Amino acid sequence: MNDTISDFLDYIILEKGLTDNTRSSYTFDLECFNNYFRNMNIKDINKQDLLDYLKYLKETKKLSSRSIERHLTTLRGFYKYLKKMNIINEDITTNIDNLKLEKHLPSVLEPEEIDKLMDIKLNNPFNIRTKAMLELMYSSGLRVSELVNLTINDIDLYNNIIIVNGKGRKERIVPIGEIAKESLSNYLSCRNVLLKKKNGNPQELFLNNHGQAITRNGFNYLLNNVLKEKGIEKKVSPHTLRHSFATHMLDNGADLRTIQELLGHSDIVTTRIYTHISKKQIQENYDKFENRGEK
């Protein structure tokens, strides 16, 4: 089965335009699948075998419903490929209902918390860079991978836009807010200070203290430092800024289609989760108001 899986992974990269990160996710899922069915031919695996495998992921591997759903999505793509290549006669993933996912609404920061997070002293090039990254991520709703992969040429401050290469290498144009634009201008004016002669002249926009392109882990480290410094104890990840951007856009009257385009979602169903977050926040704010009235 190893060769078939390898061929499939090559196929999704070439034909579907998926990123290396997505390939890594698919590889992990299919390695788990291959290890479980190690002694079986792919043609001999039936639907009940697949259901037993999903049960194994839940009860033995203790995976969450969301993780199991991701495995199933990978297998659907794999079996669709197998059927297309005439390797199997039946796609056993059809008519398997989607698992009922545990509803975990993504956390968001309140506008006041965003203000607190962005209140960074601009006393050195590193702080100027950190503020520019945070402001741009929140202002434009970027994924952390999109942020760290931005190049100098992707920025157009004259027209207030950036060119973003998203999932599946899909390109989209996203506007830059005025505050983010100012922070970016400040950073660009001192970016040369971060350059190191031995590293040449990297085209990536954001650089670390070694003059190299900052990584996802590097950004996580910076974000956690700022959170600690500001005393923000809420669980915050880089994606929280993206969620906060979308939720605040919705709260301020933006329609779902606009938010979908800005976030680069291929399906508006993915974007609809922010309507649930917004409703949840309205209820929480109402409850706080009611509680104040009782004091």
User: Which active-site residues does the annotation give?
Assistant: 143, 167, 239, 242, 265, 274
Cβ–Cβ < 8 Å for 135, 241: no
Helix (H) or strand (E) holding 222: helix 216-230
User: Torsion-angle region of residue 100: left (phi > 0), alpha (psi -120 to 50) or beta?
Assistant: beta
Q: CA–CA separation, 153 vs 157, rounded Å?
A: 11
Q: Of 181, 133, 136, 139, which is closest to residue 156 (Cα–Cα)? A: 181
DSSP secondary structure, 71-118, as one string: HHHHHHHHHHHHHHTTS-S--TTTT-PPP-----PPP---HHHHHHHH
Instruction: Work out the number of other CB atoms within 10 angstroms of the CB of residue 111.
Output: 12
Q: Edge-to-edge strand order for the sheet containing 155-156? A: 155-156, 161-165, 171-175
